[in-house]
Copies of this chain bind each other. A is one copy, B any other.
């Protein structure tokens, strides 16, 4: 059977055109080299060299085979290097799901850090709801999810990366827009815009609960799946809403955000991945994400300048 050894020896002899020197270069004796080349020619079924006892020349077939062999050895090196990079998570592909609101807080920061540190990993992004992400994670359609807890699935790992306070979103024409902060009780008679409970039961229940502590049940006039939609509806004077503070990064005009007077409930964003995921890119991503979150202050996340991604 033909082996890489034969090819390496062949390249050496073809480059030196001298068995003695080639053997020296290969740190071996000349006779076994001659023998291996002869064996190679045997396997190939054609002559590589014209040899007299005094001189060595490549045949035309040998010349072509030399070119091909060199390329082959180079490609092997390349394949090994690529494999190493993949194994270190420095190369590959990562499919990421995210809830729309994550696009306004953590996601840009983390992606920027990852892209600059590991440029050879291709990122594929899918905006989708939490439930959908859980499904896709289990099915292996995405590797990483940026979603809203809670998540019970034991096959997934979860790490909460942001807890951001909820604020009141008011139409800018609203009488309360002048206040510096707003007591929930003041909203008792307002129309509320809320997301469907299914989308984030914890946050939903928190809001309802707080209202009830303040002595009223909110009058929900409209539900909307997307945070963007909620904000738009507020801008359109349909009602008020309680939303994560990072939404002001959207720069939607016609809406004004005011902190709550009472201890604010928090909206959480978590990262999820399969517990048994072996992909190095995923672990690399998580590592860079943790680094980034540690080095980042709350202000950087919630109150970014416009135009930064």
Contacts and interface: CB of A to CB of B under 8 A. Distances in A.
A84 B2 contact: no
A68 interface: yes
Interface in A58-84: 59-62, 64-65, 68-69, 71-72, 75-76, 78-80, 82-84
Most chain B beta-carbon contacts within 10 A, residue among A3, A69, A278, A281: A3
A186 interface: no
Chain B CB within 10 Å — which of A50, A60, A65, A88 has the most?
Answer: A60
A interface: dominant SS: helix
B60 A79 contact: no
Interface residues of A, number: 36
A82 B50 CA distance: 18
Contacts of A88: 46
Contacts of A198: none
A280 interface: yes
Contacts of A64: 79, 82-83, 86
Contacts of A87: 45-47, 59-61
Given A72-B76, A87-B46, A60 B280 contact: yes
Nearest to A89: B60
A278 B50 contact: yes
A279 interface: yes
A44 interface: yes
Residue from A46, A71, A82 with most neighbouring chain B CB atoms (10 Å): A46
B4 A60 contact: no
8 smallest beta-carbon distances between A and B, as pairs: A46-B87, A68-B79, A61-B86, A61-B87, A61-B83, A65-B83, A3-B3, A3-B4
A80 B86 CA distance: 31
A87 B4 CA distance: 22
A61 B44 contact: no
A281 B64 CA distance: 14
Nearest to A57: B278
Contacts of A84: 44-46, 61
A5 interface: yes
A5 B78 CA distance: 19
A45 B88 CA distance: 10
A92 interface: yes
A279 B4 CA distance: 27
A78 B67 CA distance: 13
B61 A72 contact: no
Contacts of A61: 83-84, 86-87, 280
A40 to B, nearest CB: 10
Interface string A235-266: 00000000000000000000000000000000
Interface in A1-58: 1-5, 44-47, 50
